[in-house]
Structure 1
């Protein structure tokens, strides 16, 4: 009876060791160094030890490899001995032991601990940093041999060990961790933030909505176009037919200037428009526009209506931004006019505004501050009206018959320092 209990305890111990080393292996691979570095800077001794462990990743992985094999072999050997004492020596005991232990090891010593450790990688590495370093010293003679053969094999195959790749989230954390809130430091951080989010940004986020677009009817005269170009300052102007949301082309003012035989009507100068869906990513659109030598595209919704205009300059500004005192968020200006008080373009995206000012404005079936206000009022608010949403006092600064242009936000105490990312 004592032998049975001892063998059973050794099997459980072997499985526990296998689960432990499996969890260590996946946590070492998955742990975010930047998060650990931030915790270490805040005074976490465990995070500092965890960083020491990650710096010796090759040695630690060799240790987990040895530990896994020793634990699995021990668990399998004692399980076989236990089953043979029950069924006797023979193929039945061997088969039952092999199948049973394979299933148990796969589920309880591989899948479960690895899934858990991947979800809690940083926490687990911090908790087990000291035991890992101690185990590393115990297995050092064996792991030294393993590492020697590993390097020999890699050299033989002419393959250098690859350094761990840095993820997009790690880069964002790195940029956020860099100090420099004024001058060039802030400008560089804003540009890095834009670059990191560039491939995830859609056309809808950078387009100029149709109500803000300066456009002209196809039946207009050249004189009317000249007047519009002078008034708006734009050289490329969308052309509509009967309705402003039915864009049929684009006219370039320079075509009129360099035409040896000027026409009276606008129609001969209209070029075909490029149409793009509002869900298209701007990195792909930029490549297309450069390849096709297009400088402007018409943005259409899923229902086929024109919802805005996007120019190549809008896409490039998403990277370089507007580096003026009035900074931009997602292409929309916000201006600090007093402590915790901002005047904001009503078409600023809610997500961008929450991120920039540390707010918690609600989201719904709308994207912008204007959409939030229309939802809140159930109508188009008037200039001078006040409301409070999510603790933020909002004043309508500029409204017109079709919507809201700008608002003033007064933030509650403890909120209102723009975030770097």
Structure 2
């Protein structure tokens, strides 16, 4: 045997060194592959497979048997780590005698930590998709060959966990697919890969499943309505002075809605009457009102609007009382943001100030405020900004009171009866600045 002689007559074999190097490289391969495959984008792999990429198909097959794949990679990593350590001990024992085991432990710890763990995993976590596509074809046969052994390992693991009271798979329901999608888009936005407008639109589409018409409706206190018993001439004037094309009509009392008047229908009736508004019978022109429950989701309401080919509905509570109205535009604004045309009122109720604070009307919805100002105030417990302050305070605050919640300073500027009508909201960074 060719090699260097040692103190006890044994020879140093360079083949052992080569084996150690190979073991470290294989350990790096298994370690990096595990990180890349577990971090790979399922959506991207699914898209690539549909486009005919066979490598992506291999990745998807591995991900569908994730537990077995991880077990195979850990098996491979364990085998080469033990083998490498054994050969290193053998080599250094020849060179350094009985202290060789100590030196082998130190050397292998450094080699495996730097070159078989940190380096490959850093590379994999920064390029998971590309690396997954490269390694999948090598990992697939390894998983197939050791399949029976890995199946036994899986059974042992499941049995032990079951004895400990842990059921495999139950933890995957911690968050819903809806939350996973929103979280993924938020992360992509923070990383600069998705524009804020695209993130908001995508989030708006997902929110249609969880928001209700009560969250976006125009409250009855802000509804513009007309008394159906007014003279037709006056009703025409009311419609022409309104920025809205559809007007709810009531009779006897303001909460007794009997119909909805469309401006186009009124103009046709006016034309048919030769321009004489007094000849118009409003009951013949108006349409029957459509009432929808406030608990209806926006997704269901959007579908209902499309089926009925109408854009307007009155919202009622569980007792049948009208709480407000909702339009197709209100739902679309949840997706694309505020929609304004030349007839819309200019007041938005959000007025940024030079000192970094923002003057806000109490009735401004929290969701609209978050979208306009890029804030993240909670909107689960209250619809409007005034409602949020009342909810957090646990009472109706007085003008001049100041509160600090969720990283913002809320100052009540104006209160009318039991309604908070104006607030000054200042982000924490503006206060500290």
Counterpart Cα distance in 2 of 1:386 and 1:50: 52
1:388 to 398, 403, 422: 403
Matched, 1:168 2:181: yes
1:249 to 244, 259, 262: 259
Residues 218-241 of structure 1: per-residue CA shift (max 9 Å, x gap)? 322223323322433222101123
| Secondary structure of 1:271's aligned partner | coil
Rate the CA distance shift 1:219–1:344 in 2: closer, same or farther, 3 A: same
Tell me how far 1:243 sits from its aligned partner.
Answer: 3.5
Matched, 1:217 2:227: yes
Determine the structure 2 residue equivalent to 1:190.
Answer: 200
2:159 to 84, 102, 107: 107
Structure with the greater alpha carbon radius of gyration: 2
| Secondary structure of 1:338's aligned partner | coil
Aligned residues of 1:215 and 1:240 also touching (Cα < 8 A) = yes
Rate the CA distance shift 1:389–1:361 in 2: closer, same or farther, 3 A: farther
Which has the higher mean CA deviation after the structures are superposed, 215-224 or 300-309? Answer: 215-224
RMSD over aligned Cα, in angstroms? 4.6
1:1-16 alignment to 2 at 5 Å? none
| Secondary structure of 2:429's aligned partner | coil
| Secondary structure of 1:237's aligned partner | strand
Counterpart Cα distance in 1 of 2:204 and 2:290: 25
Tell me how far 1:209 sits from its aligned partner.
Answer: 0.9
Aligned residues of 1:349 and 1:367 also touching (Cα < 8 A) = yes
Counterpart Cα distance in 2 of 1:322 and 1:398: 26
Aligned residues of 1:396 and 1:406 also touching (Cα < 8 A) = yes
Counterpart Cα distance in 2 of 1:363 and 1:289: 25
1:70-219 alignment to 2 at 5 Å? 70-72=149-151, 104=156, 106-108=158-160, 114-115=168-169, 168-169=181-182, 172-173=185-186, 175-177=188-190, 179=192, 185-219=195-229
Rate the CA distance shift 1:269–1:28 in 2: closer, same or farther, 3 A: same
Rate the CA distance shift 1:269–1:401 in 2: closer, same or farther, 3 A: farther
| Secondary structure of 2:254's aligned partner | strand
Counterpart Cα distance in 1 of 2:173 and 2:202: 28
Counterpart Cα distance in 2 of 1:171 and 1:348: 28
Counterpart Cα distance in 2 of 1:206 and 1:223: 33
Rate the CA distance shift 1:335–1:48 in 2: closer, same or farther, 3 A: same
Determine the structure 2 residue equivalent to 1:343.
Answer: 359
Residues 302-335 of structure 1: per-residue CA shift (max 9 Å, x gap)? 22211111112222222222378xxxxxxx7644
Tell me how far 1:68 sits from its aligned partner.
Answer: 4.6
| Secondary structure of 1:408's aligned partner | strand
Matched, 1:408 2:424: yes
Which has the higher mean CA deviation after the structures are superposed, 170-179 or 227-236? Answer: 170-179
Counterpart Cα distance in 1 of 2:327 and 2:173: 42
Counterpart Cα distance in 1 of 2:411 and 2:240: 33
2:308 to 280, 284, 292: 292
Tell me how far 1:206 sits from its aligned partner.
Answer: 1.8
Matched, 1:276 2:354: no
Counterpart Cα distance in 2 of 1:117 and 1:347: 40
> Normalising to structure 2: TM-score of the pair?
0.55
Determine the structure 1 residue equivalent to 2:126.
Answer: 48
Aligned positions, number: 303
Structure 2 segments unaligned to the other structure (5+ residues) = 1-29, 44-117, 341-347
Rate the CA distance shift 1:243–1:64 in 2: closer, same or farther, 3 A: farther
Rate the CA distance shift 1:236–1:71 in 2: closer, same or farther, 3 A: closer
Counterpart Cα distance in 1 of 2:379 and 2:198: 30
Counterpart Cα distance in 1 of 2:302 and 2:379: 32
Rate the CA distance shift 1:68–1:57 in 2: closer, same or farther, 3 A: same
Aligned residues of 1:221 and 1:265 also touching (Cα < 8 A) = no
Determine the structure 1 residue equivalent to 2:241.
Answer: 231
Counterpart Cα distance in 2 of 1:116 and 1:313: 40
Rate the CA distance shift 1:293–1:351 in 2: closer, same or farther, 3 A: closer
Counterpart Cα distance in 2 of 1:180 and 1:48: 15
Counterpart Cα distance in 2 of 1:206 and 1:173: 23
Determine the structure 1 residue equivalent to 2:111.
Answer: none
Determine the structure 2 residue equivalent to 1:319.
Answer: 335
Tell me how far 1:292 sits from its aligned partner.
Answer: 1.5
Determine the structure 1 residue equivalent to 2:385.
Answer: 369
Counterpart Cα distance in 2 of 1:113 and 1:407: 50
Rate the CA distance shift 1:174–1:219 in 2: closer, same or farther, 3 A: same
